[in-house]
Structure 1
Amino acid sequence: MNSDTTQVDDLQLIALPSAVNCTDLFVRFALSEWSLRPMVEETSRAACQLVTEVVDNADPRAPGLITVRLRVCGDRLVVEVDDGRLVSRELPLPAGLTGSSVPLPRRERRRSRAAEQISAEQPVHGGAEIGHEVMQRILFGLNRDQD
């Protein structure tokens, strides 16, 4: 990563057609958080095009992983897509903005209401049985897919 990078966010996806829609949502969310809404459409088009190229060339029977990364670097927004081969596009930030002037998001480390509600509803008995039961269902599902 370049030392001029002031903000970065990335997302890992599987190289399937749904990765294109996920990329669009990721770009929209990240740029909204970074107060770069004027760049959403252009950045989304660039990122989705790069991801589409990777998905189109992927083996649908054994799709690999894709990392989509957005970086604010100097006076540019860099879109990177890496599937073992890194491709990128650089877009200029709006006039008068530099990486250091892009407001960083403030995230609180707190649980969502849904997570708090679920934990309040769970009986307090160690949770070992629940974890084992969930693991059994996962393993059963994975074994069934191999048949």
Structure 2
Amino acid sequence: MTDRTEQMDDLQLVALPSAVGCAEMFVRFSLTEWKLQPMRERAAALAGAVTRQVVEAAAGDEQPGMITIRVRLSGGNLVVEVESAHEVAAPPTPEGGRSGLDHLGPGRYMPWLTIPLPGGMDAGAVPLPRRTRKPSPEAARLAREEEAGAPPDPDVLGRILYGLNGTQSRHQK
């Protein structure tokens, strides 16, 4: 078994109480995409608890700052990390997992925990989503027009020329 990270998702949020619910939803979404539904609720609850701890540490600050919630598949574990500027205690160790607090440098801390993947599964065996690039309907329309040789929008060209010349746009006073 390797401890190489096979998949990772992260989300940045402001360290406010609403971040707790957002962290839980983010973890549920990521685990659903990774087809790890049996772990979804437990992992979301643990991520919410760690995020709540960080948000409570930031509560007294005039500017709470940003936090990063990260989920990773590494070796035989799901890893949940919350990076912030606030030092907190290491989270409780989940059953079968590990937990800790890393000091990342001046003013940067990361409480983390691991949860074993179901059935002794290795991160490399998790079926990850395959995404195909789909242009928006507007981008597809513009591409068709470009292929058909449609002339560029004169208003857009005018704005580009004004910007390149450094002159004041006719829209600015």
Same fold (TM over 0.5): yes
Q: CA RMSD in A?
A: 2.6
SS state at 1:104 partner: coil
Aligned pairs for 1:92-131 within 5 A? 92-112=116-136, 124=153, 125-126=155-156, 128=159
Distance verdict in 2 for CA 1:116–1:17, change over 3 Å: farther
What stretches of structure 1 move > 6 A for 4+ residues in a row?
Answer: none
Q: State which structure, 1 or 2, has the greater radius of gyration over its C-alpha atoms.
A: 2
The DSSP-based 3-state class of the residue aligned with 1:111 is coil
Does the CA contact (< 8 Å) of 1:16 and 1:60 recur in 2? no
Distance in 1 (alpha carbons) for counterparts of 2:38 and 2:61: 35
Number of residue pairs aligned between Structure 1 and Structure 2:
126
Give the structure with the larger helix fraction.
1
The whole-number CA distance in structure 1 between the counterparts of 2:116 and 2:65 is: 30
Q: Note the C-alpha offset of 1:110.
A: 2.2
Deviations 1:19-72 (A, max 9, x none): 111111111110011000110111001100010011111145201110100011
Identical amino acids, percent of aligned pairs: 43
Gaps of 5+ in 2: 85-107, 143-152, 161-173
Counterpart in the other structure of 1:80: 81
Unaligned runs of 5+ in 1: 130-147
Instruction: Specify the code of the residue in structure 2 equivalent to 1:40.
Output: R
Q: Which amino acid aligns with 1:49?
A: A
